[in-house]
Amino acid sequence: MSTWDSIGGWLKDNGTGLLKVAGAVVTGNVPAGIAAVASMVSEATGETNPNKALASLQNNPELMVKLEEIIKRNEQSIREHHREVLKMELEDDQKAHEQQQLTIRNGDNANDEYVRRTRPWAARLSLYATVGYTSVVEFCYGMGWFTAGASWEILTVLSAPIVAYMGARTFDKLKSK
């Protein structure tokens, strides 16, 4: 079963320019934006059912051209809705970051010594395990006792807590810059 959200995803994947922006608006969480783009898709395809509208867009390239013309006529509206979607995403990211930092601070400043020391202790264990694993496996490999050195997969798992404790950002955040 298709929804307007799936049409938005399809527009983002298959459209260009304003069609991608319109797709982003439809997949955003702004009801007015979804309704506006849904109206434009309905105008282009003659369909109010999202399943039929998506099938029409996928099977008829002329309808994509017609939709692009309709969207260009309503560019200002599309861009305003897109700004609202981006603003909501940014606010959501900021709230998540604030909550994460608050949780960390609460743990670091807790009256209970066990709670206060757990994160640093786990990070230290992670560091010791990473260094220990690497040293032993590489030594054994160097001596010819193992056929391979330290595994990157195991190193990643072992080092994740110390890397997180030191404040490294996730790879999805790094690659979006």
- Give 18-74 pLDDT, tens digit per residue: 888 888 888 877 788 888 888 888 888 888 888 888 888 888 888 888 888 888 898
pLDDT tier for residue 174 given thresholds of 50, 70 and 90: low
More confident residue, 115 or 127: 127
Angle among Cα 61, 66, 71 to the nearest 5 degrees reads: 125
Selected residue with higher pLDDT from 64 and 160: 160
What percent of the chain has a predicted confidence (pLDDT) above 70?
Answer: 93
Where is pLDDT greater, at 93 or 140?
Answer: 140
| Rounded CA separation 174/115 (Å) | 30
Short-list 117, 120, 152, CA closest to 137: 152
Q: What is the pLDDT of residue 172?
A: 53
pLDDT-based confidence at 1, cuts 50/70/90? very low
**Token reading at 53:** 């509208």
